[in-house]
Amino acid sequence: MTVATRTSNKTDRWVDVLATTVPHVRSSKCPRNGEVVRCIKDFFAKGTRPSGETVLEGPTGATAAITPELRTLVYRRAAEMIRTCVWGVIDKSKGFARLRGSPKEATRPLLEAFDAKLASLVFDPATGHATSNTAEEAAVGLVGRMGGVIAGPITRDATGLAEFIGIEDVHWDVKSPMSPRTDQHWTFDAGHQVEVVRKNIGEGESILLNLSRCTEEDARNVVTLIRRALSREELQFLYVLLPIVAVGGVRESSSSANNHPLLNH
């Protein structure tokens, strides 16, 4: 994954990086989230940017650098997810239900608290590395906080069994499948994604399924197969970040998802 650079072209929006991060995915905006995106942009522009690399030490003595480019990637991807996707849960009988929750904290204080420990969230102590993949996980964690999915602060899971640990010891595992680009010759396996989700739920984890890097067809297929394959009990431990363009292609519940069991954590 490449990091887009900011240009002087006034028509080039700060968060319009879809063409360089996931060029095969069709984008659609969520106008209700425009103010949140602007707040992220403003925070990033006025925040203290690191002059160099922040180096952390892993459990085995390995070191990894949290570069300014990775910090940029976290906030750009978070803004992009908020702009183009919605959180929801999957109801066994009714289909996809959008989550209309929000965090108790105001956006600016939440961003400040998140940014204060960003390096530790991007750096994976289990592997001793900070990469574009761990930056993607951190972005999903931030979007989960801002969307009211994750109720409190998160820390990295040092064991590698999950990505983050939240309040009341909830273990959050982030899954971010990606559809192949048009120039790649492999087939997206929605069934495999379902089995991965089921396996991790069986291991006691709560899942943040990030489908923002999937085409609308692949995202729809994953949601449909999950609804068919997982039990009601298993679905209680799953949140889905679904592209807005894919919502219309899956059976959508008119009921609120705000009574989902994990929202009590």
Evaluate whether residue 256 is within a structural domain.
Answer: yes
Beta bridge partners of 91: 95
Residue 5 lies inside a defined structural domain of this protein? no
Work out the average pLDDT over 27-50: 68
Residue 12 belongs to a domain: no
Residue 226 Cα distances to 73, 179, 194, 201, angstroms: 29, 17, 6, 12
Domain count, the chain: 1
37: which 2 tokens?
């995106």
Question: How would you classify the pairing of strands 238-243 and 63-66?
Answer: unpaired
Distance in angstroms (rounded) separating the CA atoms of residues 140 and 79: 10
Question: If you average pLDDT over every residue of the chain, what do you get?
Answer: 79
The model's pLDDT over 223-247, given as tens digits with 9 standing for 90+, comes to 999 999 999 999 999 999 999 988 8
pTM of the shown model: 0.80
Residue 13: inside a domain: no
Model confidence at 16, in pLDDT bands (50, 70, 90)? very low
Phi, then psi, of 44 in degrees rounded to 5 = -65, -40
6 within a domain of the structure (yes/no)? no
Residue 66 contacts residue 118 (beta carbons within 8 Å): yes
Q: 192-216, pLDDT tens digit by residue?
A: 999 999 999 999 999 999 999 999 9
Other Cβ atoms within 10 Å of 95 Cβ, number: 17
Higher pLDDT, 195 or 52: 195
Query: Token match 């790649």: residue?
Result: 184
Its domain, for residue 91, covers 18-264
Q: What radius of gyration, in Å, describes the C-alpha atoms of the chain?
A: 18
pLDDT score recorded for residue 141: 96
Q: Is the pLDDT of residue 84 over 50?
A: yes
> DSSP state, 205?
-
Whether 68 is covered by a domain: the verdict is: yes
Under the banding of pLDDT at 50, 70 and 90, the label for residue 155 is very high
The pLDDT assigned to 30 comes to: 64
Beta carbons within 8 Å of 6's beta carbon, 6+ residues apart: 12, 14
Residue among 243, 209, 244 at smallest CA distance from 90: 209
Which has the higher per-residue pLDDT, 8 or 90?
90
The answer to whether position 96 is within a domain reads yes
Q: How many helices and strands, by DSSP H and E, does the chain display? A: 10, 9
pLDDT at 219 over 60: yes
Residue 39 falls inside a structural domain: yes
